[in-house]
Structure 1
């Protein structure tokens, strides 16, 4: 039973000297942490400030994706699943402050519902076959997806076969994460979203802002967003991201495997993403300003 205090706080009773010293120590510790920027609120502000630093996406003049382009990987959603983008998933416990503020590796990824071009969602199309920067990306051509430099450290989107020690936390399917070094595990390729016409489009330029299937080269599993597996991140409730091919009754990839390599419009720098009210396979795209996305 808690002891009831029968005197005013200014009356010194019991172990008042110890209580006073503990209070002073707590104030001193708080002030020291504040000066070093180690308070939880300060770490959260630092994380969000770095994660949501605006990034300029590439502008495509010919409508195609090129080596070196900065893009967002966006899934248009479907059913109860909202539009989402491949996003860095880290928290304040995985920050490195020296020599500069960065994230630890390996780093998790998720399908975030905050659709805006920033450090968290921007990826660079990187050559793995000595293709020059600025050259057109083609269907079935291998490439890597790298985060921006600085806070995101230029990490590579990587996956590998599921094992007893390594798998997606919620679904237990093939894990996707970010690592520091590039290897065959970080090689990807683009396939046309309709398997019946896939052979006809092999070797053709990959258009920006339309539905495609992103396949992992080693495992031949498609990048997928899982609406049934919600994870908690620093940005709230978001979807788990994995490498797994979901086929419908016609042996075609479902909309959970459909992604767009989104770029900016040539005029005004507006982000090109699909209309959220349309189906994922709708060919009509709409331009949304940054104010509509926030």
Structure 2
């Protein structure tokens, strides 16, 4: 009578090839880990650079200068044209593509932008004021003067410039289909911007005056004459979560005045050690509406 010698320990099929394949996969994994080429390692390096704490420039005369490190912040305001929108102060941020960010430890250009509800200066939202006229670093930025906005993203060997160009059928913003704003490493006239006063009646009179820091201004693109705008009601699913879209478009109300979407503040650093930016400083009693109400009505608590 024949005896069945088959058991769980018997190797069948291409068992030898499977063993060698597992050894090669493990060898390749260990080699990539030692070189820091694993997906999780590259992902961690990119996030560390983008979220690296940065130090903003501290202005002594109250104005913005060439070479200053600032944040571009769209202050909190209600969006009357939509029921659902992001509240709070939104800062202009570098936003790499979500899929490409998982495949590389450096972002590819052109790179996108968004407005995120963060007021802490990090690598992805700290911009440098650069002169477009080859003027010396440290000179005061003036209304109507061309300048560039550069960002390193936390890296030391990269400089990207805020740029825009006319809308086409193949190139526009993702949600609003308006003129796109992006970051590129090529220096051209598409990188040039100008600061303007929000009040149209005083705009021409302030031409050539120094641009104050931590005050609402307009940032207009020189080539297309479109204003930088934050769309709080249009959301983007980014590498860091839900953020608002940023585009180049001038939004005017019935009085031909730019809406708060186009208002930006060049935020500088705070001289106090407990406040990273000027936005974190308490408002003076004159600007505090609660203090004014208590002053007019002593019985109010």
User: Is this a same-fold pair by TM over 0.5?
Assistant: yes
Using the alignment, how far apart are the partners of 1:84 and 1:173 within structure 2? 20
- Provide the secondary structure at the position in 1 that maps to 2:145: coil
* Change over 3 Å in CA distance of 1:122–1:207 after alignment to 2: same
2:232 matched residue in structure 1 = 227
Using the alignment, how far apart are the partners of 2:222 and 2:242 within structure 1? 30
2:82 matched residue in structure 1 = none
Equivalent pair of 1:111/1:240 in contact (CA under 8 Å) = yes
Using the alignment, how far apart are the partners of 2:115 and 2:287 within structure 1? 22
* Change over 3 Å in CA distance of 1:222–1:241 after alignment to 2: same
Equivalent pair of 1:65/1:207 in contact (CA under 8 Å) = yes
* 1:237 maps to which of 232, 236, 242: 242
Does 1:187 pair with 2:186?
Answer: no
Equivalent residues in 2 for 1:8-19 (5 A)? 15=13, 17=15
Higher share of residues assigned strand: 1
Per-residue displacement from partner, 1:85-142 (whole Å, max 9, x unpaired)? 1111115735998xxx643222222212233212211111111123321111111111
Equivalent residues in 2 for 1:135-214 (5 A)? 135-148=139-152, 150-151=155-156, 153-214=158-219
Equivalent pair of 2:46/2:106 in contact (CA under 8 Å) = no
2:93 matched residue in structure 1 = 87
What is the Cα-based RMSD across aligned positions, in Å? 2.9
- Provide the secondary structure at the position in 2 that maps to 1:197: coil
Using the alignment, how far apart are the partners of 1:131 and 1:157 within structure 2? 19
Q: Give the CA deviation at 1:27.
A: 3.5
Equivalent residues in 2 for 1:113-132 (5 A)? 113-132=117-136
Question: Normalized against structure 2, the TM-score is what?
Answer: 0.79
Question: Normalized against structure 1, the TM-score is what?
Answer: 0.81
Using the alignment, how far apart are the partners of 2:280 and 2:222 within structure 1? 27
Higher mean C-alpha deviation, range 265-274 or range 127-136: 265-274
Q: Give the CA deviation at 1:35.
A: 2.5
2:58 matched residue in structure 1 = 59
* Change over 3 Å in CA distance of 1:111–1:156 after alignment to 2: same
Of the two, which has the highest radius of gyration? Answer: 2
Higher mean C-alpha deviation, range 88-97 or range 166-175: 88-97
1:291 matched residue in structure 2 = none
Unaligned residue ranges in structure 2 (runs of 5+): 1-7, 79-84, 289-301
